[in-house]
Amino acid sequence: MANLPPAEEEDLEAIRAVLSGDDEAFRPLVDKYSRSIFNLAYRMTGNAADAEDMAQEAFLQAFARLGDFRVGSRFHPWLYTIALNLCRSHLRRRSLPRWLASPREREEEGREPELSERSPDPEQAFLAREAEEGLQTAVASLPVKYREVFVLRQSQELSYEEIAALLGLPLGTVEVRLFRARRLLLKSLEASNLRRAKKRAK
Amino acid sequence: MASNPCRHPIEGWLHKKADGRLSPEEAVAMEQVVGSCPACAERVALFEWAGKTLRGQRALPVGFSDNVLRRLAALRSPGRLRERPKTALYWLPAAVSALAVGLVVFSVFIFRGRAPLEAPSVQVELKLAGEKARSVAIVGDFTGWDAVAMRKGEDGVWKTRLSLPPGRYRYAFVVDSDKWVADPQAATVLDSGYGGADSVLDISL
């Protein structure tokens, strides 16, 4: 196994240890990849609490299915696949007709302030938060197929090839979806900027 | 500024620039447009701000790993790691990438079909009694949240049988295609986050 890069070698050793009965050996895998999986789920769903639940579920499923993991493949993409499927189920479920109205969902989406705590000025902080909520709403309004490619590229910074492999898509399709996602996002951001500017002008 | 009255191909440029594929000529053209077209300058600023914000990674609350490890205790460790024979080591570099793509594509295929092919499964029966209904369906993680009809037994109890690998599943019953009902027999019920409750099924081997 000397030909594997050290990071993968580490993961593989942890996996072997877990499979021989050492549950604690799973912890370094969780520590290493939880932030990435959580951020993927957050950007896909727009809800940090749901994203945290989904990240937990992803690791539990990975643990339960560890016997299916093949030596020579990489753990992180495998984990991404599990997380993406959880996101898809979650999003499909959210689109089911419910007698509880969608205004509540819209209320919950994007209500996460923590990314913009750099500025001490309260008004600036407020504007920054508003802008980030606007961004997350715009991302959450992308069609799911575009959103996946977009989030994997922009938030997880995967290459076209990695995204293509992960989603089982040709490179060309990845590029088209990414372009459309970016264009839709830009339009959405411009529109909400305009709305906010008009509101403030009143 | 509504749509794009200026007709500059700014979106195409931004797309290429984001992926490092903007040619030197295009870069010059883009700079000129940004210098002369305020709408495009704003678009560029917006796009770059969005990219930068999206790259920011939110921290997880402390204790995430602890929580996962604690919940793991409820699941049993799965089977042996599937090793390829030692002789394969000589082809490892090429084999690794081929296998990685294969596994990912294969996994995607498995997940599209909702149930993993080779994980051991447990038989479970879910029931709903005391419901005067024309139809009862079950919806949950294991159905992809599609409604699956249940059968009414002679005893008047609505039933469904499932075969599931270990894990935690959320579900609910849907009565007459309209009313969402939690499972009164579920050991755990969780807030669905949408004003209702999900029943939880924990399966271990």
Domain-located, residue B153 = yes
Strands B158-164 and B188-191 come out as unpaired
List the structure tokens of B33. 């447009």
Q: What is the value of pTM for the model shown? A: 0.65
Q: What is the DSSP letter of B5?
A: T
Say if residue A66's pLDDT is above 70.
yes
Say if residue A118's pLDDT is above 60.
no
d(CA B22, CA A180): 17
B66 CB burial (10 A radius; 0-12, 13-18, 19+): exposed
Confidence label for A78 from pLDDT (cuts 50, 70 and 90): very high
pLDDT tens-digit profile of B127-150? 998 778 888 888 888 887 777 888
Domain-located, residue B63 = no
Mean pLDDT of all residues belonging to chain B:
78
Per-residue pLDDT, B54: 95
Domain shared by B131 and B170, yes or no: yes
Range of the domain at B110: 79-118
Per-residue pLDDT, B116: 42
Instruction: Please state the domain extents for chain A.
Output: 1-96, 118-202
Domain shared by B91 and B156, yes or no: no
Domain shared by B98 and B147, yes or no: no
CA B53, B58, B61 angle in degrees (round to 5)?
Answer: 165
* H or E element at residue B36: helix B24-36
Per-residue pLDDT, B115: 42
* Mean pLDDT value of segment B24-29: 95
* Mean pLDDT value of segment A186-196: 86
List the structure tokens of A179. 């372009």
Q: Which residue in B57, B78, B144 is closest to A39 by CB distance? A: B57
Q: What is the DSSP letter of B82?
A: B
Three-state DSSP state, B6: coil
Per-residue pLDDT, A104: 41
B119 CA: distance to closest CA in chain A (Å)? 6
* Helix residue ranges per DSSP H, A22-143: 27-45, 48-64, 75-94, 102-108, 122-140
Say if residue A120's pLDDT is above 70.
no
Domain shared by B174 and B186, yes or no: yes
More confident residue, B142 or B69: B69
Domain-located, residue B72 = no
User: Is the CB of A60 less than 8 angstroms away from the CB of B167?
Assistant: yes
Confidence label for A146 from pLDDT (cuts 50, 70 and 90): very high
Confidence label for B196 from pLDDT (cuts 50, 70 and 90): low
Question: Which of A32, A30, A58 lies closest to A44, judged by CA?
Answer: A58
> How many domains does one find in chain B?
3
Tell me the CATH number for domain A1-96. 1.10.1740.10
Flag the least confident range among A29-43, A109-123, B76-90, B151-165: B76-90
Give the chain A residue nearest B20 (alpha carbons).
A159
Interface test with A, best of B1, B22, B57, B205 (most A CBs within 10 A): B57
Domain shared by B137 and B152, yes or no: yes
Question: Which of B73, B203, B172, B24 lies closest to A98, judged by CA?
Answer: B172
Mean pLDDT of all residues belonging to chain A:
85
d(CA B164, CA B149): 17
Domain shared by B126 and B190, yes or no: yes
User: Is the CB of B81 less than 8 angstroms away from the CB of A57?
Assistant: no
d(CA B195, CA A6): 47
B189 CA: distance to closest CA in chain A (Å)? 15
Residues whose CB is less than 8 angstroms from the CB of residue B4 and which lie 6 or more positions away in sequence, other chains included: B10, B39
Domain shared by B127 and B175, yes or no: yes
Cross-strand pairs, B189:
B199
Flag the least confident range among A45-54, A150-159, A189-198: A189-198
Domain-located, residue B31 = yes
List the structure tokens of A70. 């093949």
The CATH number linked to B169 is 2.60.40.10
Q: How many CA atoms lie within 13 A of A129 on its CB side?
A: 13
Per-residue pLDDT, B91: 56
Per-residue pLDDT, A99: 47
The string of DSSP codes covering B99-154 is HHHHHHHHHHHHHHTSS-SSS--EEEEEEE-S---S-EEEEEGGGTT--EE-EE-T
Flag the least confident range among A85-89, A101-105, A111-115, A135-139: A101-105
Q: How far is CA B103 from the centre of its chain?
A: 18
Interface test with A, best of B64, B70, B114 (most A CBs within 10 A): B64
Q: Kindly provide the b/e burial profile for residues B128-141, where b requires at least 16 CB atoms within 10 angstroms of the residue's own CB.
A: beeeebeebbbbbb
Q: Is the ipTM here above 0.90?
A: no
Angle, helices A48-64 vs A27-45, to 10°: value is 140
Q: Which residues of B touch A72 (CB under 8 A)?
A: 84, 92, 95-96, 99-100
User: Is the CB of A30 less than 8 angstroms away from the CB of B64?
Assistant: yes
Say if residue A144's pLDDT is above 80.
yes
Per-residue pLDDT, B123: 85
Domain-located, residue B107 = yes
Interface test with A, best of B77, B190, B200 (most A CBs within 10 A): B77
The answer to whether B145 and B139 have CB atoms below 8 angstroms apart is yes
Say if residue A33's pLDDT is above 60.
yes
Per-residue pLDDT, A87: 94
Q: Which residue in A3, A151, A186 is closest to B46 by CB distance? A: A186
Would you tell me which CATH number, out of the four given (3.30.70.360, 2.40.50.140, 3.60.20.10, 1.10.10.10), belongs to the domain A118-202? 1.10.10.10
Domain shared by B151 and B106, yes or no: no
Domain shared by B126 and B180, yes or no: yes
Can you say whether residue B13 is alpha, beta or left, with left for phi > 0 and alpha for psi between -120 and 50 degrees?
A: alpha
Say if residue A113's pLDDT is above 60.
no
User: Is the CB of B54 less than 8 angstroms away from the CB of A34?
Assistant: no
Domain-located, residue B64 = no
Domain boundary among B55, B71, B91: B55
Domain shared by B40 and B107, yes or no: no
